Amino acid sequence: GVYEEKINSLESIFHPEEKPLTYNKQVIRHILAKNILFNKKMLPEILTLDPGGLIEEGLPPDSQKFIFVLEGQIALETKKDKYTLDPDQSLYITDASIEHSLRNIGSTAAKLLTITHPVVL
């Protein structure tokens, strides 16, 4: 699913038949665009983190990331800052190359909508 013979200006974005990717046993990621590696400028995903689930990232220079909490409670930490996000709260990271982590600090699974620019898998 990484090659497109025909580039469409519009595409449906959820494909339930596609298997999700996993970071580890506590984090599942659903990419919300098909054939993502070509002609895409952003990466929309739904991340599901089990309680205690952790993602540690440091993206390439000039990367940006938007995070919107759908369910649960998330802590985002950098070396300097810590943010707690509840449902319906969001955070826009203008320099996602700064090492940061996302951790589910709640007692139930957390779901996040994230959008990363540029596409980084």
The pLDDT tens digits of the residues spanning 1-58 come to 444 556 566 555 555 555 566 567 788 777 776 655 566 788 888 999 999 999 998 8
DSSP line for 44-99 = EEEEEE-TT-EEEE-PPTT-EEEEEEEES-EEEE-SS-EEEE-TT-EEEES-TTS-
Cα–chain center distance at 13: 15
pTM: 0.79
pLDDT score for 1: 46
Measured distance CA(105)–CA(31) in Å, rounded: 23
